[in-house]
Chains A and B, each alone.
Chain A
């Protein structure tokens, strides 16, 4: 089963890379952007075939390694 995780920076954490990407997009002529925040995306292929169990396992991975909860939030995308 494949489970995806999206990690984003929390709101009050400065994201200088996102800012530079925003400026560059502005410079390229993409108008009307309010803000760009950069994050991370993971695809985890696990042998677990129970949705709930797999989700719980991935949540534990997020808490222990994939995200640093001081600065980041995680969102687990359930398999389709």
Chain B
């Protein structure tokens, strides 16, 4: 399986993602934002970080980078594109995913482990995954998912909500909402489910000695699904 991780100026989770993808069997290539062509890929990842220093709005500058034309074409042709954290912000700014990520409700940068509940397993990212809730790390200032009333109806009707913030047992309520996201949304798909954006970082949970193994479960399952 071939994967590509795009590095934007200010990306800082690109190498963590590279390590994670390689650990679970992907042949990964790093792609610079100024490149025009994507290498042959089964998965393209937009990593976390602070692309372009979060100028204007998080992800807005990166969404207009040269490489993004190829990423948009790849996604429109059904290619799998996953955005983590700042990558999620880039995907909404690029128009590949609905909604937008606002400043966290209580204005603080949040850096902690959270639990997320998988809402939809009928897609290449979570199909056959053996757990329903995952412990992942979040680290963001703008993770407060927002969309219009029409959009929320649309993403509900199309089953586009990927992950909810929850407790360990999968209860989704305001108490487990770290950042004010509408309906506790932590990740969404596009209509076709080939594009996924999420605020949590699965790549930070791939080593039991350092963090945990829920990310390992995610990546092992993902590569199996893409084969």
Contact = CB atoms under 8 A, between A and B. Distances in A.
A14 B105 contact: yes
Nearest to A64: B64
A17 B103 contact: yes
A16 B107 contact: yes
A17 B56 contact: no
A71 B102 contact: yes
Interface string A59-76: 000000110101100000
B152 to A, nearest CB: 11
Contact of B107 (A17, A65, A66, A71): A17
A33 interface: no
Contacts of A28: none
Nearest to B106: A16
B180 A20 contact: no
B105 A71 contact: no
Interface in A35-80: 65-66, 68, 70-71
A70 B148 contact: yes
Contacts of B151: 70
Given A13-B102, A14-B102, A68 B107 contact: no
A68 B180 contact: no
Contacts, number: 32
B118 to A, nearest CB: 25
A16 B144 CA distance: 11
Contact of B100 (A17, A20, A65, A68): A68
A70 B60 contact: no
Interface in B137-157: 144, 146-148, 151
A65 B68 CA distance: 14
Contacts of A66: 56
Nearest to B147: A70
A20 B105 CA distance: 11
8 contacts: A14-B146, A16-B107, A17-B103, A20-B107, A65-B60, A68-B57, A68-B93, A70-B151
Given A16-B107, A70-B99, A70-B146, 5 more contacts: A14-B144, A14-B146, A17-B103, A68-B100, A70-B147
